[in-house]
Amino acid sequence: MVRTGRCLCGRIRYEVTGELPPLVNCHCQFCRRAHGAAFATVCWLPSSAFRFLSGEEAVRRYARAGGFRSFCEDCGTRLFNGLLTGDGFISLVVASLDEEPERGPIMHINLESKATWYEVRDDLPQHDSLPPEVVRALEAMKRS
């Protein structure tokens, strides 16, 4: 399975291969500010599943505290986040995909810094931080 995605202006295009891992809504203060939103919907992919199709030269990185956020220098669209140490994963900003994902998010994470003005009104599990089950799933992906 191959999916494509792009930034708002279309200069950067990418593809991801394989099954789309479960989506999560991240409510951390960094995602909120970077995205200008109450939360960001992301999924973790092996870096090897991601490939630029065009516009890689337009990708800018905001790096801080061991992590980075990639975005388009022209339109500012957020594309993915990762660790500077390169742990083999990126967290893809799901809204940049061309096709809508078949399934919605499975949980809310990092609610410890949730926006006070936003109320979660669904029945999905809510976690104050990154739950161990997600960490374990990432470890399992690394081994496979």
Interface with Zn ion (CB under 5 A): 7, 9, 11, 26, 28, 31, 72, 74-75
Q: Is the Cβ of residue 16 or residue 81 nearer to Zn ion in the bound state?
A: 81
Question: What's 125's DSSP letter?
Answer: -
Q: Is the Cβ of residue 1 or residue 57 nearer to Zn ion in the bound state?
A: 57
- For the bound state, the minimum distance from the C-beta of residue 60 to Zn ion, rounded and expressed in Å, comes to 10
Structure tokens at 114: 């949730």
Q: Is the Cβ of residue 28 or residue 49 nearer to Zn ion in the bound state?
A: 28
Helix (H) or strand (E) holding 60: strand 59-64
- For the bound state, the minimum distance from the C-beta of residue 113 to Zn ion, rounded and expressed in Å, comes to 8
- For the bound state, the minimum distance from the C-beta of residue 144 to Zn ion, rounded and expressed in Å, comes to 25
> Please, are residues 91 and 79 in contact by the beta-carbon 8 Å criterion?
no
Q: Is the Cβ of residue 33 or residue 143 nearer to Zn ion in the bound state?
A: 33
| Vertex 45 angle, CA 44 and 50, to 5° | 140
- For the bound state, the minimum distance from the C-beta of residue 103 to Zn ion, rounded and expressed in Å, comes to 20
Of the candidates 98, 91, 107, the one whose C-alpha atom is nearest the C-alpha of residue 46 is 91
